[in-house]
Structure 1
Amino acid sequence: MKQRFRYSLISLSILSACSLNAMANYDDGMDEIEQITVTSTRTAKSSTELALSIGSVSEDVLNNDNSQHLSESLQTIPGVLLNQLSGGQGHNAAIRMPINYGGYTLYLQDNVPLQSAAFYNHNALWWASSNSSLSRLEVMKGAGTSLYGSGAVAATVNILSAPVDSDKNEAGITLGENGYARYQGSATHHLSDQNGVRVSGAYLSNDGWRDNSRVEKTELNVLHEVSVADKHSFKTSIMASSLDQQMLNALTADMFAQDPSQSGLPAEVIKIDPRRKTDYFRISSEYQYQGNGVFASIIPYARYRSNDYIATWQPNMPQVESSVKTIGVLALSNFSHSDDFETTIGIDLEYSQGDAFSFQAATRTTSGWGAATYPKGHVFYDDKTRFKGIAPYIQHVGSITSQLSYSLGLRYDSNEYEFENNLAVYDDDGFGNRSIADRTDTFDHMSPKASLNYQLDDTSNVYVRFANAIRIPTASELYHLKTKETSAQLSSLSEETSDTYEVGYKVNLDAFSLELAYYIMAVDDAIVTAYDDFGASYRVNAASVEHQGIELGVNYQYSDSVSVAFAYSQSDHEFDHYIEDQGRVDYKSKESKAHDLSGNSLQMAPEYVANLRLNYNSRAIEGLNIIAELQSIGDYWMDAKNTQKYSGYTVANLKFNYDLSDALKLHVRIANVTDKKYALQSELRYGKERIQPGAPRTMYAGLNYSF
C-alpha cells in the first residue's frame, strides 16, 4: 500500500471517530431514520440489515437537481464518479475502479438489466429513463449479491421508477444556454384503488457548447400496476427511447489550449456530419406473490437496442451499425423459515442475438505510424452472435445471536456464445484485421458470497463480507480481432474473476447518517489492450490488478434550514502483475519491447473523488431552497507506464429552487460558476494527450407544475 494512501486511511478514520463523537453528543434522543433499499434482494430491506455498501439518491434530491444527466445526481454517493462525455448523453464510470469503458458496472432499471453483458456498452444510461417518473437511484458498490452475475464487479446501478400510488400529474420545462431545451411530463390515472397506470415522457434538444455536439433524445414510459386479493400483484413496464447525437473527438493539448469548444475532428470528417443514433425498447412484466412466509417474483422481459455511429476516435473513422435483441426471465422465491432465517432461490435466463456490421463510410488517408488509405466501402466485419445465459443461485440469511447475522450465497453462471461470420475467413484484410470461422465459446463460473452483520442497535451496524464475481468477455472482444499475430489469443481469452473483501459501518439517525467502508478488490486474468508490431490493438488476459480504497458518506441536518452532505473516497489502483508487450521484439534493434509495469498505478485512477453539498432552506423567503456544490477529483497517471500526471480539478455549482405556489416551482442551475477551464478527463495514447474538456459556466432555468 502506498504511504500516502495509508495516511489517508488514518486521517479518515480520525474524521469518522470525530463524527461519531459529535453525533453522540448532539442529541441522545435522536430518532431513527430508516433507509430502505431494494437492489440487493429485490425486496425492501433496511440499509442497516445488509452487510453491503449501498448508496441512494432520494426523490427530493432528484427534483432539486433538475439535472440534464443522471450522473450529476449519482455523484453525491461516495465513490461514484460518472463522466458525462463531450457534454452529451454518453458517459463512462469510475466506481471502485479507474475511469474506464469496461463492463465492470451493471446498470438496471427497476431491477431489470438495461443491456446484455455479452454486448456491454459503457453508455448504458442512454437507455435509462430520466423523466419525472423516477423515485430514486441506488448504487450497490462492489461485487453484488447472488442475484447478479457478469458485470456486477465494481457496482450495480439501479434506476427506480415511482409507484403508481397517486393521481399526481406533472409537466416541466427547462431552458438553457447553447440551445438547451428539455420538456417532460407524466399523467396518472387510477382505474380503481388497486389498479393504476402512468404515462410519462421527455424530450431533450441541445446544440451543445462544443462544435458538432448537437443531441436530441425522446423517451416514453408506460407503467401499469394492479393488485389482486392482497397477495398477488402485477407491474408492467414499457420503455422506449430514441437518441440522435453528433459525434466529437478528444482534443490534443494544443487544441485544448487554443479552443476547448472545437470538435477535435478533421474538416473532411465534419463534412460528412458524423452521428450516433440509438433506439431502445424494453417491455417487462413482474408478477409478485406475497404469502405467509413466502415471497415470489417472476419478471419476463424483452429488449431491443440499435447503435449506429462513426467511430471518430479511430484514425480511419469507420461506420459501425449494430443491434441486439434479448428475451429473458428473472425468477426467485424467498422462504422465511422463522423470524431469523430465510432462503432465496432463483434463476436468471437470457437469450440475446447481436448483429454487427462495420465498413468504411468515406475514403480516408491516415498519417503517422501505420499510415494507410482506407477505401470507401471496405468491410471490416459483418457477423451475428447468439448468446445464452443460465444462472441459478441460492442465498441464505440466518442469525447467530440476536445481534449477529450471516449471509451465504452461491451463483453459477453458464454462458455460451455462437458466432456466425458473413465474411470469408482470412488472416489480414490489408489493414490489420482478421476474419475468423464460425465458432462456439463457453464460460462457466461459480461465485461464492459470504458476510457477517452485527447490529449495534436499531440505528447502526458493522459488517464484513466477501464476494466473488466475474466479467465475461464481450462478443466484440472475442471475435473482432486484429492481424494474424492474434491467432494465439483466439481460444485463450477467458473471463475476469474478482474477489472483494469489505468491512464497513453504518448509522442512520434523524439528523445524522454516516457510512464508512474499506474494500480490497483483487482482479485476476484482467483483460487489457495489447498491440502488435503494426500498431493494431487486441484484447488479452495479461494482468492481475488490485483495487483498494475507503469511502465515507456523511449527511448532517444542522438545523431546520441548513444541512450538509459529504461524499468522499480515497483509492489506490495498481497492477499486481503485468508485463506489457511481453514477447514482442523491436524489428530493427531486435531488443525486447516488454515493460514490467507491476506495482504501477492504473491510468486514469483519481487519488480521490469528493462531493460536498450545502443545502439551505431560507427562513426569510418561504419556499426558497439553495444548494451550493463542490465536485473534486484528485490527480492521476495518464498512462500505464506512469510517465505523466493530470492534476485533477475542482468545480463549483449552484442550484436554486423556489416554490411560486403549492403547484408551481421555479428552478435555476448554474454549472461551473467560476467558469473554470479544465479537463474532464485526460489520458495518453500513442504518446499523445487526449483531453475530454469540461463544460464552461452554463445556466439553466425552468418551471415544474404539478396538478
Structure 2
Amino acid sequence: MEGGFTFNNLNQETAGYVAGAKAYEDSDKRDTNPNPEAYRDSQSTRIWTRFTMESGDWEIIATPYFREVNMNFVQHYLPGQPIEDTEHRSLGIQVAAYRELNNDSSFAWGIDAESTDGSLKEMQPNATTGSLFVRKTIPQGMHYDYEVEASQFALFANYDTALTDRLDLSIGARLERIDYEYDNLMLDGRTNAQGVACGFGGCRFSRPADRDDDFSDISPKIGLSYELNENHSLFMRAQRGIRAPQATELYRLQGSQTVADLDSVELDSYEVALQGAGSNWDYSASLYSMDKENEILKDSDRMNLNGSHSKHQGFELALGYDLSDSLSLRGVLNLADHTYENDLVSGGVNINGNDIDTSPDQFGNLRLVYRPANNLLAELELVHMGDYYTNPENTASYDGHDLLNLRVQYDVNDDFMVYLNVLNLTDEEYAERADWSGWVKDRYFPGEPIRAFIGFTWKY
C-alpha cells in the first residue's frame, strides 16, 4: 500500500494584457500591469492511496482518492469586473485488473467512478462603466449562483497480443457516462438578482431553470507496432477521444439562451511513428492527423453551440546525437497545420479554411548538453516559437520569437543538489502570449527579461 497528500495555496496578483501593436517591445508598457486590482486565490487538496493485491492470475490495483479545489478571482478582462467564486469536492476510485495470458498476450480492464459536488457564484460589486449598452445589460450584484452534483462512471478494457515475432497488436475501449444535476439558487432567466429586467432586451447573463443532463460515450483505440530490426520500430495508432460538455458550458449561459443543447466533443486521431537508435544517435519521427467535431463555441448571439469542426495535421521529430562522451546535441521540431473546416462567421468573415488562431505552424528546441562528470550537467537551450495568427479572421498575427537559456546542475552527493538557471540570456523582447480583441485590437502578455535562479534540493 502507498499513498500521498498534496496541498497547494496560490495567492496571485494577476497581470493583465498590455495593448497596442507590438506593445511587448514598448519599454513604457511591457513592465506595467494595466489591471493592478486583479487577483486569483486558489487552494487545492488531494489525498490518495493505492492498494495492490493478487487474486489468482490477476493483479488488482485500487486507487481511491479525494480532491477539493476552491478558487476566487476577479474577471478583470470583462466589463464590470465581476468576482467568481468556485468550489469543487470529488470522491472517486479507480480499479484496474491485469492478467498475463498464455499466448504471449495480456488483458486489462477496470472502472473509474467519481462523485463531485460543485458550485459557482459570480458577483459584481461595482456598477458597470462604459457604453450605454454595457451599462444597461451588465447589472451590479449577483449574476450566477448555482450548484451542480456530477457523477461519472467509466468501464475500460485493453488487450495486447503478439501477432508474429515482430508484429504486436493493442486494442482497447472506454465507455463513459456523466450525469449532471443542476440547481439554480437564483431567479431563472436574464433579469438582475432582484428580478428587474435589463435594457436592450435583457441582461447579458441567463440562468436556466433546474435540470438534469447526461452524456454517454465510447472511445475505441487500436495500435500496431512492427519491429523492423533490433534498432528500429514502426508504430501505427488510431483512436477516438471524447469530452463531455462542462458544467459552465451547460449552465453559465448568456443572451436569450435558456437551454444549452450540447453533444460531446469528438476527436479522431491517426498517427504513424518511427523510432530507432544507432551507436551514438537516436530519433523519433511521427506523422499525425486529427479531426475534431462538435467543438463547443459561443456564437455572435452569445449562445453555446456545437458549431466548430477543425483539422490538425503535423509532423514531429526528435533527434539526439552524441558528439563525444561528454557532449551531446538534442532537438525537437514540430510542424503543424491547424484549420477551421466548416462555415463559421467571425468578425463578419467566413473563416472556413483559415488557420486556427494562436496555433503556431512550427515550434521546437535545440539543446547542447555537456556532462564532464556524472555529478555535473550544463545545458544551453535554444527555444523557437513560430509566428501565428491571433484572431480567427487571420488579419492579425504575432511574429514569434527565439530564446536562449542556460542551466547548470551540480550533485554534491546523493541527497544534495545545487542548480543555476539563466533564462532569456539575450534579453529578447517577446510575448509569452499574443492575442487579439475586438475592443482593444492587439494585446499581449510580455515575456520576462533575462533572469537568473539559484537553488538547491535536499532529500532526507
Match runs of 1:322-333 below 5 Å: 322-333=86-97
CA shift at 1:623, angstroms? 5.1
Match runs of 1:60-459 below 5 Å: 234-253=1-20, 256=24, 257=26, 258-265=28-35, 270=36, 273-289=37-53, 293-338=57-102, 340-367=104-131, 370-371=134-135, 376=140, 378-429=141-192, 430=198, 431-459=203-231
CA shift at 1:563, angstroms? 1.4
CA shift at 1:625, angstroms? 2.8
Instruction: Measure the CA separation in 2 of the matches of 1:525 and 1:663.
Output: 51
**TM, length-normalised to structure 1:** 0.60
Equivalent residue for 1:600? 354
Work out whether 1:571 is the aligned partner of 2:336: yes
**TM, length-normalised to structure 2:** 0.91
SS in 2 for 1:477: helix
Instruction: Measure the CA separation in 2 of the matches of 1:293 and 1:571.
Output: 45
More helix per residue: 1 or 2?
1
Instruction: Measure the CA separation in 2 of the matches of 1:354 and 1:656.
Output: 44
Contact 1:248 1:312 in 2 (8 A): no
CA shift at 1:658, angstroms? 3.5
Q: Select 1:505's aligned residue among 274, 277, 280.
A: 274
Work out whether 1:475 is the aligned partner of 2:247: yes
> Per-residue CA shift, 1:216-265, capped at 9, x if unaligned?
xxxxxxxxxxxxxxxxxx11111112111112211102654232111122
Equivalent residue for 1:29? none
SS in 1 for 2:248: helix
Equivalent residue for 1:100? none
Paired residues, what number? Answer: 447
Instruction: Extract unaligned runs of 5+ from structure 2.
Output: 193-197
Q: Aligned letter for 2:39?
A: R
Instruction: Measure the CA separation in 2 of the matches of 1:415 and 1:662.
Output: 47
Equivalent residue for 2:195? none
Equivalent residue for 1:635? 387
Q: Aligned letter for 2:13?
A: Q
Contact 1:571 1:606 in 2 (8 A): yes
CA shift at 1:314, angstroms? 1.3
Instruction: Measure the CA separation in 2 of the matches of 1:424 and 1:403.
Output: 65
CA shift at 1:280, angstroms? 1.0
Percent identity at matched positions? 24
Contact 1:542 1:578 in 2 (8 A): no
More strand per residue: 1 or 2?
2
Contact 1:366 1:372 in 2 (8 A): no
Contact 2:46 2:66 in 1 (8 A): yes
SS in 2 for 1:675: coil
Instruction: Measure the CA separation in 2 of the matches of 1:677 and 1:379.
Output: 41
SS in 2 for 1:493: coil
Q: Select 2:428's aligned residue among 668, 671, 676.
A: 676
Q: Select 2:368's aligned residue among 597, 614, 626.
A: 614
Contact 1:353 1:386 in 2 (8 A): yes
- Aligned CA distance change for structure 1 residues 529 and 483 (closer, same or farther; 3 Å): closer
Contact 1:664 1:704 in 2 (8 A): yes
Instruction: Measure the CA separation in 2 of the matches of 1:560 and 1:292.
Output: 48
SS in 2 for 1:391: strand
Contact 2:144 2:186 in 1 (8 A): yes
Contact 1:360 1:374 in 2 (8 A): no
Work out whether 1:519 is the aligned partner of 2:288: yes
Contact 1:428 1:483 in 2 (8 A): no
- Aligned CA distance change for structure 1 residues 368 and 407 (closer, same or farther; 3 Å): farther
> Per-residue CA shift, 1:493-543, capped at 9, x if unaligned?
1111111011001125664321111110000111123222xxxx3422112
Instruction: Measure the CA separation in 2 of the matches of 1:464 and 1:388.
Output: 34
Q: Aligned letter for 1:625?
A: L
SS in 1 for 2:266: strand
Aligned-CA RMSD value:
2.2
Instruction: Measure the CA separation in 2 of the matches of 1:578 and 1:370.
Output: 29
CA shift at 1:274, angstroms? 3.1
Equivalent residue for 1:147? none
Q: Aligned letter for 2:66?
A: A
